[in-house]
Copies of this chain bind each other. A is one copy, B any other.
């Protein structure tokens, strides 16, 4: 077991799918090794909370709210400003640009397939989409919403009142229904049917030979070892790892701020790799501009400023293997889903 796996064990998070590196069958990773039937990559339907089952009304309401800049303190930014569908539901920035242009310390995570997550925010301080939805809206350096004003607006505009009543009959228009509606919409932002998914489903030509080689490097503990953390259908263990990134400005302790165990110092959530080619730049500090730079980081076993993590061992990869790995990551992009902008209630 590598030190990286110790870190994973230390996180002790409830990962939906447990993936041990021993389970990798390099020749055909679709086939779990005997006794490892729990290993699988196939993406099913996202889990749905009992008190917020998806309905068309909830999704439509959540979509309107998601795109509504009037939910921010200056009326100029919506959830979609940072989680921009045109940029992989992220923002294309190194780190997020928040309220009135404030440059924040961490990168905007995509919301693609957040429906499958069990940890939210880079440090996992939120545990569900409902729990997470109002955080950035309320944060003074993000949307800086005045909730009293937001709720007054939602309770005033007839269009919103009607939509809330249809989506959550009998429940007041308030923070809870606002968060639920946003979560219901976010659960529809799902990337599936990528070449990798089609290959898993049996279409052997869905991956190019190079992408197939890349998956083998990805899953092989002795080479990429990526699947040690980027495992399961959503290619994340929902765990936290220190991968040797200095971050921007003052040291960012990441998960340690939430959970005071030494292994969590500088540890951040493993992001999904779904649609990864659409969400550059990479890492919680946005320090890798391209997928190749991500690979180079792991080959170095730390960032290009000499930062290393005790959890990291440098990878030994040939140039060909690096290229193959990047090619595989490009096979994780789902088909484009049309996002038709809502007309907002006035």
What are the interface flags for A315-346 relative to B under an 8 Å C-beta threshold, 1 for contact and 0 otherwise? 00000000000000000000010111111101
Contacts of A342 in B (CB 8 A): 86
Contacts of A277 in B (CB 8 A): 346
Query: How far does the alpha carbon of A339 sit from the alpha carbon of B99 in the complex, in Å?
Result: 26
Contacts of A81 in B (CB 8 A): 69, 76-77, 81
Whether A46 sits at the interface, judged by CB under 8 Å, is no
Number of copies: 2
B91 x A75 contact (CB < 8 A): yes
Choose from B75, B84, B92, B338 the contact partner of A92 (Cβ within 8 Å): B75
A346 x B69 contact (CB < 8 A): no
Whether A19 sits at the interface, judged by CB under 8 Å, is no
Whether A160 sits at the interface, judged by CB under 8 Å, is no
A346 x B278 contact (CB < 8 A): yes
Q: A239: shortest Cβ distance to chain B, in Å?
A: 27
**Which chain A residues numbered 84 to 99 have a C-beta less than 8 Å away from chain B?**
84-88, 91-93, 97, 99
Q: Which residue of B lies closest to A102 (CB)?
A: B100
**Which chain A residues numbered 54 to 102 have a C-beta less than 8 Å away from chain B?**
64, 67-70, 74-77, 81, 84-88, 91-93, 97, 99-101
Q: What are 19 A-to-B residue pairs whose CB atoms are below 8 Å?
A: A64-B86, A68-B86, A69-B81, A69-B91, A69-B92, A70-B92, A74-B97, A74-B101, A75-B92, A76-B93, A77-B81, A81-B81, A86-B341, A92-B344, A100-B101, A101-B101, A278-B346, A280-B346, A339-B340
Please give 14 more A-B residue pairs, beta carbons under 8 A apart, in addition to A76-B93, A280-B346: A69-B87, A70-B92, A74-B97, A75-B97, A76-B77, A76-B81, A81-B81, A86-B341, A87-B344, A88-B346, A99-B101, A101-B101, A278-B346, A340-B340
